[in-house]
Structure 1
Amino acid sequence: MKANTLKLSALVMLMALTGCASKPTFNADILLTGGLLISGDGSAANAKKVAICEDKICGIFAPESTHIKAKQVIDVSGKVIAPGFIDPHTHSLSDLKSSTRNDNINYLTQGVTTVINGNDGGGPVDFNATKHTLHANGIGTNVGLLVGHGSLRKQVMGKVARHATEKEMSQMEALLEAAMEQGALGLSSGLYYVPGSYANTNEVVRLAKVAAKFNGIYDTHIRDESTFSIGLIPAVQEAIDIAKAADIHLHLAHIKALGVDVWGQSEQIINLVESEQQRGLSISADQYPWLASGTKLHSALMPKWVMADSKKAFHTRLKDPRLQDQIDRELAENLRRRGGAKAILITKFYDKSFEGKTLEQVAKEWNLSAISATKKLVLMGQVRIASFNMSAEDVENFMQQTWVVTSSDGTDGHPRKYASFPKKLKSYVLDKNLMSLETFIQRSSADTAKYFNIKKRGQIKPDYFADIIVFDPKQISVNASFAHWNVLTEGMQYVFVNGEIVINDHKFTNIHAGKVID
């Protein structure tokens, strides 16, 4: 009996000693303390400590944990810790290649740590060469690359207005296969734009099948977002048909119903997409939170046949007296679809005196019709415009779908390049309560990573790359507008890219920590 009592006492003492034993020290480079973690997977916010080791997240701990030792401890009390946003549709490649704009700071200040380039059919064909250039220069954000159908066409057959021959198809397929082997994320198309608009559906199917062999995606600016050619619903159906035939994930770029003719069709598109999803087709989309689209004046209004071949050929047709009646009729109809000359705002032009004026105002100043003013402007040079052509109801309807993620489609001359993510946060999450903060973050990070097959990014999770943002949602300031489109967002207190602090207490550190994703 006494022996049993002694054994029990010894066991109790051992258990007590084991329970009181301290945990082994966990060593990290950086430790974020005091913050509210929103991990990106849709789960509710929780108070956590987040540890970073080199370029990875190496631990997530309870607030009371005391066994972590870090070279740098950063107190982020009262702030949200979230995964860096992933923008699936940007036009930032020229900035990233630049010696002066490669920091991509207009994205970093929005909380975007990874951007996708090569959208709308314009992606680089030579993946390795592009990757080498970007890494040699240093880049502020991570970047993923799509291969553009339009770029493939231009390299193989120029801007000729016809279908590809079998030989040309084989050449495009070979170029795409090489880029996919090197690490491209997929194929993009811009079937609204020249020269993609000259291709038939089968041409795109054949190329999408190449991307599918490498588990790539098909990202498309559909052939028509309005009633310019085949119509909005048939254009969505064409994209679905391509994805079905190629057995590939379909991503609908900057989903919208553009122009008065198709306002209200968001419901039909949603029903069509979800019907196909229920049948097993993988489909997603992205959207920027603005009522105005942005493009070049000639892309918005010029008939596609006029723009074929070279710039010289384009301008020759535009000045040919024999073609004016036909050009004017088609221009007038395209202008009507976009809401008329008063809905076209000039946002960027070599002659700054035009910026901030509508096409209607310019036409009046010149004492010309809107059609004649359009042709004159196009002949003068590249004109970027904002086109106010979307309904608030359609924008909000698309935004609330679980398969629609956040994007910018960022281009010069439009505030979306500087403020799309904060605009959505302020206007649609905090003001209108269309979704929770957790949902907004998920659709700006983890969901995008999933749809684009980006590994180990988009969530705060051990062994994921340390792309992290720290901010107070109520202190985010949207400063860009249509009058002043290139003003940086304010409010991101810390931004980490691959474990490096690139924004430290609201200030850019001049560290270029971005990598090309492959």
Structure 2
Amino acid sequence: MSAAIRRACVAALLLAVATPLAAQAPATSAPEYDVVIRNGRVLDGAGNPWIVADVAIRDGKFARIGTVRGRGKTEIDARGRYVSPGWIDMMDQSGSVLPRNPLAENKLGMGVTTAIGGEGGTPVPASEIPAYFQRLETQGISINFGTYFSETQARVPVLGRSARAPNAAELERMRAIMDTAMRAGAMGMTTALIYPPSSYAKTDELAEVAKVAGQYGGFYASHIRGEGADVVGAVREAIAVGERGGLPVEIFHLKVAHRPGWGKLMAEVRDTIEAARARGVDVAADMYVYTAGGTGLEATIPSWAHEGGNDSLKARLASPEVRARLKKELTTGSPGWWNIVEAAGGWDGIVLANARDPKSARFHGKGLAAIAKELGKDPADAAWDLVAAGNGRVMAIYHMMGEPDIETALRFPWTSIGSDAGAALSAGAADELGLPHPRSYGNHVRVISRYVRERKVLTLEEAVRKMTSWPATRMRLAGRGAIQVGNWADVTIFDLATLDDRATYEAPTRSPAGIDWVLVNGVVVLDHGKHTGAKPGQVLRGPGAAPTTR
């Protein structure tokens, strides 16, 4: 064959091969992905150092990580920003507000894509949980949401607000209610043991009801019985419930609210939890990153006075003899009651946040000691008169924790992050609790802006792990918490240089800065810090739910 003929054959062959390839990938091909995030510093959530990579998303899940040549219907340039798995709020209070405001603007504004609620249980009885979940799914929600069921929700239908222990038959009825809740998709059983009537439940009762949740693979999560001088004993009780009930234990909002114990008790808590873990107890804790807590002002009243409910409490507060006894117990203590006044260092450390009474609104932001002086009353009387006059739960801020203890607890590898705050009914408003606390708008951002960038308590990678892969692993949230091909594409994109929680005790509903984009299940929900109106969130049912509903 001549050289000319050979060249002609080669040219024909090349043309035959090249032509169909060009047809397969024309310049005007449709986008290959739903979203492509380009050029970001990708933090996988597992604690690894960041890498510069593109992240492609298709059908709600991560499809490719690395160099992505295909286009996305939506393209996000994350150059100079960090791309993290969406942040998880391990102690949320949004259960009752999501049916009314599914957008959860304050949650998304601080990078939260998934929230686990239910310290006080579900907002409906056990038998109504399926319909509640169905409503959330039908109307749509902007964040992923799961919830616990409270032991108190099993107790009150059987015992009312009585302080007595259940008999054997009553206990079985309580266990049956918990069984219904677990099969409906609750994530486990909670308690809030400083608040009546939850505080009336003893360890034996808790362990017996917890066994039901444990049979379905659920958790025992607790606002423990004391967070002050008796915090170590309260942690031990929670661990005992988990051991006897056969289920993992989550300590809600870990803290030491006792000034004499600052710098000492947190180490004892650590040793107690790590000793339990060493013998095989699956126990861990979550926390918020503020030195003040927030709860109802009625928490300043010993537990026995609450028996029978709010009307009974107000009747007792009207009695001078009862008031005298209550004031004495502020000094002597009272069985089954955590003295939160002592924890706050006295009435000066308690600030009125929401009086639920227009006549007393002028006192918002003032300490109870100052309010009492202005009214010419004893501080206890001033506080309890506010409780009696409030049309709803009167809320207060309690300054009772030490900064070094927060930093110590953040370093524990088994702590995750929970805000103890709910979604607001509208952007810029206080959360559903009616408690204007900066944790509602700034908690998760503050973990990074204050404790990574400013105080260098944590590395960025470790802080992100505590808000992503660790809580997802902890809660058995399959396919979440890490940027990994096949996982659900929950994403928070932030600018570390400008990240700022901004909310303060004086301006608690100020939105943070530095969160640029948030995606939930592959859908952009926050774009340049603005809510898009999208509602791609999923209901996260617990392990007891039927497989078709999980």
Q: Do both proteins adopt the same fold according to a TM-score greater than 0.5, normalized to the shorter chain?
A: yes
- C-alpha distance in structure 1 between counterparts of 2:123 and 2:215, whole Å: 19
Please tell me whether the aligned partners of residues 51 and 58 of structure 1 are also in contact (alpha carbons under 8 angstroms): yes
1:184 has 2:190 as partner: no
Contact 1:33 1:77 in 2 (8 A): yes
Provide the C-alpha distance between the structure 2 equivalents of 1:72 and 1:327, rounded to a whole number of angstroms: 62
Give the Cα separation in 2 of the matches to 1:469 and 1:388: 31
Partner of 1:45: 50
2:210 maps to which residue? 208
Structure 1 residue 182: Cα displacement: 2.3
2:449 aligned with 1:447: no
- Equivalent residue, structure 1, for 2:136: 134
Match of 2:14 in 1: none
1:485 & 1:224 partners in 2: Cα distance?
26
Q: What is aligned with 1:403?
A: 414
Question: Hey, what's the Cα distance between the residues in 2 that align with 1:364 and 1:428?
Answer: 38
2:343 match? 337
Tell me the equivalent position of 2:238. 239
Instruction: Sort the Cα spacing of 1:506 and 1:324 in 2 relative to 1 into closer, same or farther, 3 A.
Output: closer
The Cα of 1:167 is off from its aligned counterpart by 2.0
Question: Deviation at 1:384?
Answer: 0.9
Partner Cα distance (1:72, 1:287) in 2: 36
Measure the CA separation in 2 of the matches of 1:45 and 1:446: 15
Q: Which amino acid aligns with 1:78?
A: G
Return 5+ residue gaps in structure 2 as ranges: 1-16, 26-30, 334-338, 422-432, 542-550
Alpha carbons 1:125, 1:176 under 8 Å: kept: no
Offset at 1:137?
Answer: 3.4
The residue aligned with 1:415 is 438
Deviations 1:359-397 (A, max 9, x none): 011101101111111111111113211100011121111
Match of residue 371, structure 2, among 344, 347, 362: 362
- Identify which of 215, 221, 224 aligns with 1:222: 224
What runs of 5+ residues in structure 1 fail to find an aligned partner? Answer: 1-16
Relative to 1, partners in 2 of residues 1:165 and 1:38: Cα closer, same or farther, differing over 3 Å?
Answer: same
C-alpha distance in 2, partners of 1:140/1:59?
A: 24
In the alignment, what sits opposite 2:354?
Answer: 348
3-state SS of the aligned residue for 1:52? strand
**Counterpart contact for 1:123–1:148, Cα < 8 Å:** no
Contact kept, 8 Å, 2:96 with 2:123, in 1: the verdict is no
Alpha carbons of structure 1 residues 492 and 425: separation in structure 2 relative to 1, 3 Å: same
Distance 1:337 1:440 in 2: 28
**2-structure distance, mates of 1:154, 1:122:** 14
> Which residue of the partner structure matches residue 547 of structure 2?
none
The alignment's TM-score, normalised by the length of structure 1, stands at: 0.91
Question: In the alignment, which of 505, 511, 515 is matched to residue 492 of structure 1?
Answer: 515
Please identify, of 461-470 and 109-118, the stretch whose mean Cα deviation from structure 2 is larger.
461-470
Secondary structure of the structure 2 residue equivalent to 1:395: helix
Partner-residue secondary structure (3-state), 1:514? coil
One-letter amino acid of the counterpart of residue 392, structure 1: E
Query: What's the offset of the Cα at 1:102?
Result: 2.6
For 1:194, what is the secondary structure of its paired residue? Answer: coil
Contact 2:88 2:467 in 1 (8 A): yes
Matched-pair contact (CA < 8 Å) for 2:41–2:52: yes
Cα shift readout 1:205-252 (whole Å, capped 9, x = no counterpart): 11211111111111111111124xxx2211111111111112211111
2:165 is aligned with 1:166: no
1:157 to partner: Cα distance: 2.1
Q: Distance in 2 between matches of 1:510 and 1:376?
A: 43
Name the residue aligned to 1:35. 40
User: Percent same amino acid at aligned positions?
Assistant: 29
Separation of aligned partners in 1, 2:53 and 2:209? 46
Q: What amino acid does structure 2 have at the position aligned with 1:497? A: V
Shift of 1:123: 6.2
**Per-residue deviation, 1:482:** 0.8
Distance 2:161 2:104 in 1: 31
Q: Distance in 2 between matches of 1:167 and 1:477?
A: 54
Paired with 2:236 and 2:500, the residues of 1 have a C-alpha distance of: 39
Contact 1:121–1:190 (Cα < 8 Å) also in 2:
no
The CA RMSD measured in Å over matched residues stands at 2.1
Matched residue SS, 2:148: strand
Q: Is it true that 1:471 corresponds to 2:494 in the alignment?
A: yes
Deviation by residue 1:61-92 (Cα, 9 ceiling, x = unmatched): 23xx43x2322222111111111111010112
Conservation of the 8 A alpha-carbon contact between 2:193 and 2:199:
yes
What is the CA distance between 1:261 and its match in structure 2? 4.3
Which segment drifts farther, 319-328 or 397-406? 319-328
Paired residue for 1:297?
297
Q: Please tell me the residue identity of whatever aligns with 1:257.
A: V
CA distance in 2, matches of 1:348, 1:143: 27
**Residue in structure 1 matched with residue 394 of structure 2 by the alignment:** 383
In 2, Cα distance between the equivalents of 1:108 and 1:207?
Answer: 35
Is 1:374 paired with 2:383?
A: yes
1:325 to 2:324 alignment: yes
